[in-house]
Amino acid sequence: MFDFIKDNLILNDPLILGANISIVFTVIGIVAVLTYFKKWKWLWNDWITSVDHKKIGIMYILAALVMLFRGGVDALLMRAQLTVPNNSFLTSEHYNEIFTTHGTIMILFMAMPFLLGLMNVVVPLQIGARDVAFPYLNNLSFWSFMFGAILFNISFVFGGSPNAGWTNYAPLAIEGSPGPGINYYLLGLQISGIGTLLTGINFVVTIIKMRAPGMTLLRMPMFTWTTLITAFIIVFAFPILTVTLALMTFDRLFGSHFFTLTSGGDPMLWSNLFWLWGHPEVYIVILPAFGIFSEIIATFARKTLFGYKSMIISLVAISGLSFVVWVHHFFTMGGSAAVNSVFSISTMAIAIPTGIKIFNWLGTLFKGKIEFTVPMLWSVAFIPTFLIGGVTGVMLGMAAADFQYHNNYFLVAHFHYTLIAGVVFACFAGLAYWYPKMFGHKMNERIGRWAFWFFSIGFNLCFLPQFVLGFAGMPRRVYTYGPEDGWTALNVISSVGAFGMGVGFMVLVYGIYYSYRFAERETTGDAWDGRTLEWATSSAIPPHYNFAHVPEVKSHDAFYDMKQEGRKMVPDNFEYQPIHMPSNAGTPFIMSGLFFVAGFGLVFELFWMAIAALVGIFGCMAFRSMMSHKQDEGYYVSVEEIEKTENPYKREA
């Protein structure tokens, strides 16, 4: 075992050695703090085993912020390498590893959990539910994601990171990539993908079955609508990823030939299956972002959302079209003119429902009493910035033109203008908007504005020059270039912008700390004069049961209409009843930990370890099956506790 650790622990690279040391000291520091303040029991009871959707959402968001830091550092290292020609800051192998982990982390371990976290916090509150449909499953979903992310991230300090790009194309990922790196990719994504699929199922059932009285589908808030559509896409798309990852795992570990160059394998099969999942995945992260912007723009324009039904129709259209455009990712890989034409038309068609939503937001802003809070700044900045990504996407959708754009920096700029302007802006906007609902106080506006301007200006400074670099012929996936290529000046500007984004993120993190220390605490649940039910809770941080009384909903701006009509959330003569709530569960954490052990064993082909962990996983399943009648009994919140929680608010009102 000592030789195994010595052979795989990476100590010959100063950057990775520094990461090793920082990880060790961070772990020691966390253990010391928890031990000194005697918080281990608190951590286990209040967070690790919690099935409260709000706490699970917060854990998702915290994990996403850590992953944003990790993926952001990767991006800055890449920009540092490309700033000047013939740079030797990174080797080609190290650059390929960072290039691979950056894309994978940002999409699957940052954007996905950030949005899933906001969904967990907000959606049950918006529909008037006391929790999600399957709280136990929700805890399992988070820990499956978390241990999959941990497995993937330890690769850069133990064994070596994957290096075939975030798309992991065959045959490079099979015959061309020895070592454990690609196995980390396959097993890490597989384990986290299980959690995402379970979350999709959970939210479909929650939204369909647990809405408040009177909340028809056409009275749901827009963020709930986008969550429902996203959950359906997850349910249909993620099984494709699960099977595809499993097939390549068989190729690498057991010698099968699904994607190999020899023995009947077909590398293009991987490209088709990956993007058959991958393009719906783009909309899995962008549709919730559209919902976030819709909620924020309506709130701070002080108007109901313009074209509510047309937006729903456009969202459904986008979700359907997302499954029939995947070939545009490889127009240059030998498809016939007829095939490319069909997918070119479907790709450009998706711009129509997307354009409808742009006019929905502009119509909502028109003649509104606009208040430029930090969430609104992110939302307004999103519209023109995302439009650049959308227009360049239509350009790339033309198959003939795509042959010129596809493998250069024009494409890199395009997808960052869609994913950063669309998703990261939405994550920051949603965090600032719903922060009082999670922590009982707003984020500091002044610091939030500094973070916004640093990040948004840095973003445009970073990626606008890359469109020009693409036209100038700079290919993507290169780790260096020569001075004679003439790309130095634009790369310097791009790197300055990237570091500006890094400053913006650090200012944001400082703003979280500053707000925790000094922000004024909210005294009601309605921090922004909100329009939907999440702002109708009796306290700034909702009680664990969310609502003592679930009101009847009469419109999609249910809470705003209640305030306008003078209707109270809890009627004066209402008699409280005991509220049933689910119990905490520790089995999901243990089961997910065993998934991590099994995955680690398979990464290094330690089959004895993998088999032992799989036995433990099945043991957890058997234990759950035998004990479910007790674990699902839950508990009742007493009338006395409800009155103690609710009455201070009623007296103040």
Q: What is the pLDDT of residue 18?
A: 86
Q: Is the pLDDT of residue 651 over 50?
A: no
Higher pLDDT, 504 or 628: 504
Percent of the chain with pLDDT over 70: 99
- The structure tokens 């790309």 sit at 487
pLDDT category at 257 given cuts 50, 70, 90 is very high
pLDDT category at 349 given cuts 50, 70, 90 is very high
Displacement of CA 440 from its chain's centroid (Å): 23
The β-bridge partners of 44 are none
Q: What is the pLDDT of residue 460?
A: 98
72-110 confidence digits (pLDDT tens): 999 999 999 999 999 999 999 999 999 999 999 999 999
| Bond into 171 cis (ω within 30) | yes
Rounded to a whole number of angstroms, the distance between the first and last alpha carbons of the chain is: 65
- DSSP class per residue in 406-463: TTBHHHHHHHHHHHIIIIIHHHHHHHHHHHHHHHSBPPPHHHHHHHHHHHHHHHHHHH
Q: Are 133 and 197 in contact, with CB atoms under 8 Å apart?
A: no
For residue 9, give both structure tokens: 């622990």
Q: Is the pLDDT of residue 533 over 50?
A: yes
Cα 551 to Cα 20: distance, rounded to the nearest angstrom: 53
pLDDT average, residue stretch 316-336: 92
Residues recorded for the chain: 653
Tell whether pTM > 0.85.
Answer: yes
Cα 454 to Cα 509: distance, rounded to the nearest angstrom: 13
- Weakest-pLDDT range from 290-294, 386-390, 442-446, 535-539: 535-539
- Weakest-pLDDT range from 259-268, 381-390, 406-415, 489-498: 259-268
Q: Are 162 and 126 in contact, with CB atoms under 8 Å apart?
A: no
CA torsion 302→303→304→305, rounded to 10°? -100
Instruction: Give the DSSP H/E element, type plus range, for residue 637.
Output: strand 635-637
Mean pLDDT of the chain: 94
Q: Is the pLDDT of residue 227 over 70?
A: yes
12-63 confidence digits (pLDDT tens): 888 888 888 888 899 999 999 999 999 999 999 999 999 999 999 999 999 9
Cα 327 to Cα 399: distance, rounded to the nearest angstrom: 10
pLDDT category at 649 given cuts 50, 70, 90 is very low
For residue 317, give both structure tokens: 């259209």
Displacement of CA 406 from its chain's centroid (Å): 26
Cα 581 to Cα 54: distance, rounded to the nearest angstrom: 14
pLDDT average, residue stretch 552-565: 91
Higher pLDDT, 455 or 330: 455
Q: Based on C-alpha coordinates, what's the Rg of the chain?
A: 25
For residue 513, give both structure tokens: 């700390």
Cα 300 to Cα 478: distance, rounded to the nearest angstrom: 44
pLDDT category at 648 given cuts 50, 70, 90 is low
